[in-house]
Amino acid sequence: MKLFDVYPLYTVEPVSAKGCKVVDANGEEYLDLYGGHAVISIGHSHPHYVAKIKKQLDAIGFYSNAVINKLQKELAIKLGVQSGYDNYQLFLCNSGAEANENALKLASFKTDKSRVISFKNSFHGRTSAAVATTDNRNINAPINQQQKVTFLPLNNLDLVEVELQKGDVCAIIVEPIQGVGGLDQGSTAFFQGLETLCKTYGALFIMDEVQSGYGRTGKFFAHQHHQITPDIISIAKGMGNGFPIGGILISPDLEASYGLLGTTFGGNHLACAAGIAVLDVIEQEQLVHNALKMGAYCMEKAANIPGVKKVKGRGLMLGLEFDFEVQELRKTLIYEHHIFTGGSANKNLIRILPPLSITKKELNIFFEALETILVKETL
């Protein structure tokens, strides 16, 4: 059987990895500044993470959500304490799209309404409602276009209010910092205004922290830079450091009932073991603080690189914007300097999403490579 060929590939085959380093099939080392789409939070193959998953697999890897699984409670308690949302409720699933799908569904159940407000350039995943709230016509099939979604520009509260006044909106969904879209973000006044408007008009406020959450921006959640409290927070990516796991944090005001949401695989024993190990390491190694510190260091270094027009984002969720398209630059970085970086909808922007454990020494390798390439090109 052939693979369904949907991914353009770089000709690199990682076969092992440790911390921020990835090794290919020829034994060549690469510096990972992308974490496989912002997934690697605590570093590749962290010993505590590996040991915990192996031990769990020896005990029990999976049973369904029809029986008691104490690991789910342990994960929920740890997540509540570390995130500051210990009064919220946790529903576990398997991916970011699924998290948003459940968030939107819950909002629709609770409000008995169906239209969603989303924002220009947003990305919320590829499943039914999640993709419908994603501002990219190319990945919305006709079946997805049946959903009622209104896309608005960021930072315009008047337009949001006009839509909410129509009375049919179940939720506003927004990324605290846009990932795939290119690192744009709303202002504190905008996010605070959204929270107030949602309360006024009875819509639910969904924060998509799938990419920005789990310490990446120097706070556990990126929206915590804005002193707001969403009704639902969706999580995935860094949550499992590569093990597929996602979830939603749900306000205590939203009551659960049997069968309202459900999944076969979500919250299984192995996924919970991975999720618990990630939280252990984030806490023990103070990775949220490291993200803040290393993010500030990157901002300082990037400001001195010739050709960098703007540095966007926060912490270790950064975008370096150039005044040219970066496709060739990213290829040179990967093939000649062995450094993984990310692209975005903004063709002039390099995305930097390293493991939260990255050091100054490792970041310097990137900035030196960038300088070498850019200086060579201007000669």
Ligand X SMILES: Cc1ncc(COP(=O)(O)O)c(C=O)c1O
Binding segment (CB under 6 A) for ligand X, from list 174-182, 273-281, 322-330, 360-368: 174-182
Query: 204: closest CA among 105, 297, 138?
Result: 105
Considering only residues 191 to 230 of the shown chain, the ones binding ligand X according to CB under 6 A are 208, 210-211
Looking at residue 219, the DSSP 8-state letter turns out to be: S
* Short-list 27, 2, 3, 1, CA closest to 13: 27
**Largest pairwise CA distance in the chain:** 67
CB of 211 to ligand X, least distance (A): 4
Q: Which stretch binds ligand X (CB under 6 A): 9-17, 91-99, 145-153, 366-374?
A: 91-99
Judged by beta carbon, residue 76 or residue 97, the one nearer ligand X is 97
Residues written for the chain: 379
Residues 72 and 19: their CA atoms lie apart, in Å, by: 27
Separation CA 40–CA 1 (nearest Å): 30
* Per-residue interface string for the shown chain with ligand X, residues 6-45, x marking contact by CB under 6 A: -------------------------------x--------
The DSSP symbol for 124 reads -
Least distance in angstroms from the C-beta of 125 to ligand X: 4
- Catalogue the E-assigned strands of the chain: 14-18, 21-24, 29-32, 89-93, 115-119, 149-152, 169-174, 204-208, 232-235, 246-250, 308-314, 317-322, 339-340, 349-352
- Please, what is the minimum distance in Å from the beta carbon of residue 316 to ligand X? 15
Nearer to ligand X, 144 or 332 (CB): 144
Site residues (CB under 6 A) for ligand X, limited to 288-347: none
Considering only 49, 91, 119, 123, the residue that binds ligand X (CB under 6 A) is: 123
From candidates 79, 106, 116, 180, binder to ligand X by CB under 6 A = 180
List contacts with ligand X (CB under 6 A).
37, 95-97, 100, 123-125, 175, 179-180, 208, 210-211, 236
